[in-house]
Structure 1
Amino acid sequence: MPASAWQDRTFFSRTLGRTMPYRVSLPRGYASGSAVRYPVIYLLHGLSGRYDEWNGYGIDEVASGLVHDGKLGGVILVAPQGGLGYWMDQDGVGATPWATYVARDLVQHIDDTYRTVATPAGRAIGGLSMGGHGAVQIALNFPDVFTIAGAHSPSIRSRESAPAFFGSGGAFERRDPISLAKSVDVTKQQFWIDAGQDDSWRSGAEALRDALLERGRSVEFHTFDGGHDGWYWGDHLWEYLPFYAGAFARNGVTLPR
């Protein structure tokens, strides 16, 4: 795992009204096991990234090493293209519904195209920086789709620092992971949050952790040496990916070997 280099694909998103690219990695044995289904991890890029960002941090080598060590079984990895809108549904003229595009259109396309475990228990969503914010926000807004979320160095915005497209009042609260964690009554989801010791966004990650714990959610929280950069994200893929494998197992989903 992966069975080969990542494959670049496209699909038409009805929500966005246009064709969008994504990358997919299929596990070793996918081609030969016609009856075997695999859980899926959706990986969201950061503010300045693209759908190939995770490849630049060595995810292929790390995933293969973890499989060799018995810490990761067969999973499908999907990395979609987003924009600069924090992976959220926006309001107003020209606004882009990024969250619905991922949770409805992309997930349906992946389930229709590949042999997935097509249930919430078999889906995880993770992201780095802006994508970490987006992963938790999407999981909390679409609990019928995702039961596992990983926020890697999430850039959590306060009301004062948030761009205008976050909205205000109730609109902001529907897009803010901390507000959602305090209000959405979902206790069966599992979360991972991490941040570097020198990351200027670390206080937001800690506040998100506290909000999730207060509502009885399962949260695994870590701080590691480092800042908010590609060196940090690449160094800690060894910790991120086994979390998803364990979370699938706790959901009763077996990762094929």
Structure 2
Amino acid sequence: MTFRKHFTLTLHSFFFILNLARAAQIDTVQTYSTVMKKTIKAVVITPNDYQSLQGPLPVVYLLHGYGDRYDGWLKKGKGFETAADLHNMIIVCPDGNVSSWYWDSPKDQNWQYETYISKELVPYIDQHYKTIAQPNGRGITGLSMGGHGALFLAIRHQDVFGVAGSMSGGVDIRPFPKNWEMAKRLGTYAQNPSDWEKYTVMNQLHLLTPNSLALIIDCGTDDFFYSVNQELHRQLLYRNIPHDFISRPGGHTWPYWKNAVQYQFLFMRNYFSKMDR
């Protein structure tokens, strides 16, 4: 390698690292939910040069898993926030409470998280930040319970989200009737089978038409949700719904999600870029 080539590669590497090193701005906001009559926190991450930007930015809503809260990604998935600068986007981490599954619970009016995120939080973010306030400028993804929530919300609210993803998502709740406090939100499966059928992602697919929603689904081969994700993949293929499906060795772990989320952001950046053309 000549000195000139070596210098050029080194210089390019320097500026790439410098770009990643720019510190995204991280804020915690408090939003009021009218439907639940309470204040709920969310993390909002903007690019380092957000204040000097003239145009609006796309937004990705990143949902946490069961037992976690709005700052879970910051505490356990540290490093994901660099995507705000790398892809020039806003990232919002809502609070879905520890076990909401991002549903409007038919059993408890204090758990109305589908309405909160799709009809209260999204308008708040659009009013207070420079956003592309339409579906082709909004994405949503999450891990585990949040992976289920992201697909559930996006499929049911295609007027809000244009692209959606899932990492290790519990995309079919029916095989797990005694797990993760879902019975508190829906009632028991034995006594309320119709709600369990209605509130699973797998039974929302009739709402999709080809290319109505860009989709990326990722689950490790060692994950206890792998079989239901494989089935979701098969059902989407059967319905001719275009989507990306990623599977690789790995379990239901933060090392897997810290890797997976980078693919999710890249997929969404590519979607947003295509919408700009």
What TM-score do the two structures reach when normalised by structure 2? 0.82
Give the conservation status (yes or no) of the 8 Å contact 2:31–2:40.
yes
Shift of 1:184: 1.1
1:32 aligns with 2:52: yes
CA distance in 1, matches of 2:264, 2:108: 37
Map 1:142-153 → 2, pairs under 5 A: 142-153=157-168
1:14 to 34, 42, 57: 34
CA distance in 2, matches of 1:108, 1:87: 17
CA distance in 2, matches of 1:217, 1:59: 32
| 1:45 match | 64
CA distance in 1, matches of 2:78, 2:169: 20
Deviations 1:203-234 (A, max 9, x none): 11111222223333221011122110112111
Shift of 1:57: 1.3
Q: Percent identity over the alignment? A: 31
Gaps of 5+ in 1: 68-72
Q: Residue 61 and residue 142 in structure 1: after superposition, are their counterparts in 2 closer, same or farther (change >3 A)? A: closer
CA distance in 1, matches of 2:155, 2:249: 28
Aligned length: 245
- Runs (4 or more) in structure 1 with deviation over 4 Å come to none
| 1:138 match | 153
1:206 aligns with 2:230: yes
Deviations 1:118-168 (A, max 9, x none): 001110000000000000000111111011111001023442523323464
Give the conservation status (yes or no) of the 8 Å contact 1:143–1:186.
no
CA distance in 1, matches of 2:137, 2:68: 26
1:253 aligns with 2:276: yes
| 1:97 match | 112
Give the conservation status (yes or no) of the 8 Å contact 2:60–2:89.
yes
| RMSD of aligned residue pairs (Cα, Å) | 2.1
Q: Residue 49 and residue 114 in structure 1: after superposition, are their counterparts in 2 closer, same or farther (change >3 A)? A: same
Shift of 1:51: 1.1
The structure where helix makes up a greater share of residues is 2
1:111 to 101, 121, 126: 126
CA distance in 2, matches of 1:111, 1:190: 21
1:77 to 69, 91, 107: 91
Q: Residue 199 and residue 216 in structure 1: after superposition, are their counterparts in 2 closer, same or farther (change >3 A)? A: same
| 1:70 match | none
Map 1:170-185 → 2, pairs under 5 A: 170-181=194-205, 183-185=206-208
Deviations 1:151-195 (A, max 9, x none): 0010234425233234645433332111101x2144310111111
Deviations 1:59-90 (A, max 9, x none): 346527x82xxxxx310000011120211111
Shift of 1:15: 1.8
Deviations 1:81-116 (A, max 9, x none): 112021111102445111110001000000000010
| 1:58 match | 78
CA distance in 1, matches of 2:90, 2:135: 15
Q: Residue 166 and residue 204 in structure 1: after superposition, are their counterparts in 2 closer, same or farther (change >3 A)? A: farther
| Equivalent position SS for 1:77 | strand
| Equivalent position SS for 2:272 | helix
Q: Residue 218 and residue 101 in structure 1: after superposition, are their counterparts in 2 closer, same or farther (change >3 A)? A: same
Give the conservation status (yes or no) of the 8 Å contact 2:80–2:258.
no
1:232 aligns with 2:252: no
Gaps of 5+ in 2: 1-19
CA distance in 2, matches of 1:198, 1:149: 23
Give the conservation status (yes or no) of the 8 Å contact 2:103–2:149.
yes
| Equivalent position SS for 2:243 | strand
CA distance in 2, matches of 1:103, 1:61: 22
Give the conservation status (yes or no) of the 8 Å contact 2:138–2:161.
yes
CA distance in 2, matches of 1:160, 1:226: 21
Amino acid at match of 2:105: Q
Give the conservation status (yes or no) of the 8 Å contact 1:11–1:19.
yes
CA distance in 2, matches of 1:154, 1:60: 18
